[in-house]
Amino acid sequence: MDIIKITNLPENKGKLKVCAYARVSKEKETMLHSLNAQVDYYSKLIKSHKEWKFAGIYVDEGISGTKSDRPDFTKMVEDAHNGKIDLIITKSVSRFARNLVVLLNTCRELKRIGVDVYFEEQNIHTLSFEGEIMLTVFAATAEEEVKTMSLNMYWRIQKDMERGLIWGGNDPFGYHIEEKKYIVVPKEAKVVKMIFDLYQSGLGDTAIAKKLNKEGIKPARIDKWSKTTVRNLLLNVTYTGDLMLQKTYRPVMSNKRYKINRDTKPKYHVSDNHEPIVSKEQFQECIRIRAKRNATYKDRKPVRSYPFTKMIKCGCCGSSFHHKVCTYQPKWMCKEADKMGKDYCTNKAIPERVLYKVIAEVLGLEEFDETVFKEMVEDMVAYPNNLLVINFKDKTSKEVTWVTPSRKDSWTPEMKEQARQREERRQLCLQ
């Protein structure tokens, strides 16, 4: 029988509400198999103490300890703030968090509301006098360990790339990655060849995307083709049988999001690495056509910025809303719905006057003020059924439903005056 001694528990008149936190990282796949064992262990441990009340087990699976946006970790902290937890038990400092700032800020936040965290391996209670001093030392060690692991992994990836080997990534449309090699998928390869042929024959990215969607041809990992999807395919040298490695990279000890490699790190070009789908000559011809088309529009007028530019996202397809002037009034609509049609995205356009009115009401203003709007609002998401979600910079959100104006209400005084003048001219012509 295992006997576990836990000392220096905080005093509590009633039963302590005790939970446990466990995390298994995707870097160590074998740890996933121990998840059930950990949950079982902590459940038995907490329930074996008569003076404790079981408050649950919080588990984040396949998530790095350097990240702060762990779902169950966040939920646990929220529950602690809501009085559902008095004590959190976790295996070690590194299991709780490997980021020193995240660790200390979370522990201090919990300490402020009287919630204790107990680290089994280090035998530390955060509510104890020496807790934070010892915690800082152990956390710094854990952070240094993960930095070393990241550097070792980066070195390994670099060496593989220097040898022309693929590292990670999803299967590109037209290929299947098998043992770090590209294998042609015949059905998809025919579509890739068709896209290059269509572009070479004169069709643009948008026209090709519309044609593919109309014919029911599905792209990889998404439901429909868009202008961006087609453009990225046409610019991908992989289809010529060559490889361009390290087009993106993950910085060491960061939030681990991939960044585009803009000559920050070396790139590796591997010639004739795998079976091509299109010839190098056709690929270069499509590049030349694109350059010629871009040069044609080089002298276009600069894009005008409006108060809602880059502020509204489409809740249906994820695209941005852009400003468009129609016959009757300016409005904001989904870019992809505008370019690709309602077969691609069915989200409605929002009249600009309606947006001004709704935002002013939400912010408690008599009329729309762009300065106040930019100071308070982070972004907005437009959904079907006239639903608009406004996300504020203080991390709160508000849902509002806007009303579609009637044809009569849509007419501004300027529009009425223009209509009156047109009617006068028409009457003069009839005389």
d(CA 20, CA 6): 14
Cβ atoms of residues 290 and 227 within 8 Å: no
d(CA 29, CA 323): 48
pLDDT digits (tens, 9 = 90+) for 201-244: 999 999 999 999 989 999 988 888 988 899 999 999 889 998 87
Provide the pLDDT confidence category of residue 260 given band limits of 50, 70 and 90: low
Q: Last residue of a domain, which of 230, 262, 296? A: 296
Split into its structural domains, the chain has a count of 3
Provide the pLDDT confidence category of residue 83 given band limits of 50, 70 and 90: very high
Residue-number span of the structural domain to which 272 is assigned: 163-296
Note whether residue 420 is domain-resident: no
Provide the pLDDT confidence category of residue 89 given band limits of 50, 70 and 90: very high
Provide the pLDDT confidence category of residue 104 given band limits of 50, 70 and 90: confident
Longest dimension (CA), the chain: 108
Q: Judge if 190 and 255 occupy the same domain.
A: yes
Q: Judge if 106 and 71 occupy the same domain.
A: yes
Taking 3-state DSSP, the helix, strand and coil percentages for the chain, each rounded to the nearest 5, stand at 40, 20, 40
Q: Judge if 290 and 317 occupy the same domain.
A: no
Q: Judge if 219 and 344 occupy the same domain.
A: no
Q: Which pLDDT score, from 0 to 100, does residue 359 have?
A: 93
DSSP secondary-structure letter at 338? H
User: What is the percent of the chain where pLDDT is above 90?
Assistant: 35
Note whether residue 319 is domain-resident: yes
- The three-state secondary structure class of 59 is strand
pLDDT digits (tens, 9 = 90+) for 267-276: 667 788 889 9
Taking the mean position of all CA atoms in its chain, how far away is CA 272? Answer: 34
Output the average pLDDT for the chain: 80
Q: What is the DSSP string of 112-148?
A: HTT-EEEETTTTEETTSTTHHHHHHHHHHHHHHHHHH
Q: Which pLDDT score, from 0 to 100, does residue 295 have?
A: 80
Q: Judge if 180 and 204 occupy the same domain.
A: yes
Q: Judge if 274 and 367 occupy the same domain.
A: no
Tokens at 290, concatenated: 């694109």
pLDDT digits (tens, 9 = 90+) for 162-192: 555 666 667 889 999 887 788 999 999 999 9
Q: Judge if 192 and 101 occupy the same domain.
A: no
Q: Which pLDDT score, from 0 to 100, does residue 9 have?
A: 46
Residue entry with tokens 């290929």:
175
Note whether residue 20 is domain-resident: yes
Q: What is the DSSP string of 69-117?
A: --HHHHHHHHHHHTTS-SEEEES-HHHH-S-HHHHHHHHHHHHHTT-EE
Q: Which pLDDT score, from 0 to 100, does residue 378 have?
A: 92
CA distances from 244 to 199, 221, 238, 272 (A): 22, 22, 7, 11
Note whether residue 6 is domain-resident: no
- Picking from 258, 199, 186, the residue whose alpha carbon sits closest to that of residue 225 is 199
pLDDT digits (tens, 9 = 90+) for 148-167: 665 565 656 566 655 556 66
Provide the pLDDT confidence category of residue 65 given band limits of 50, 70 and 90: very low
Note whether residue 106 is domain-resident: yes
Q: Judge if 322 and 288 occupy the same domain.
A: no
- Count H helices, E strands: the chain? 14, 18
Q: Which pLDDT score, from 0 to 100, does residue 28 have?
A: 47
Q: Judge if 141 and 97 occupy the same domain.
A: yes
Q: Is the predicted pLDDT of residue 54 greater than 60, yes or no?
A: yes
Note whether residue 132 is domain-resident: yes
User: What is the percent of the chain where pLDDT is above 70?
Assistant: 72
Q: Judge if 247 and 335 occupy the same domain.
A: no
Of 14-28, 107-121, 301-315, the range with the highest mean pLDDT is 107-121
Q: Judge if 286 and 352 occupy the same domain.
A: no
Note whether residue 248 is domain-resident: yes
**For 366-401, b where at least 16 C-beta lie within 10 A, e where not — what string?**
eebbeeebeeebeebbbbeeeebebbeeeeeeeeee
Note whether residue 109 is domain-resident: yes
Q: Is the predicted pLDDT of residue 279 greater than 90, yes or no?
A: yes
Q: Which pLDDT score, from 0 to 100, does residue 156 have?
A: 62
Q: Is the predicted pLDDT of residue 32 greater than 90, yes or no?
A: no
pTM, whole model, 2 decimals? 0.49
Q: Judge if 292 and 223 occupy the same domain.
A: yes
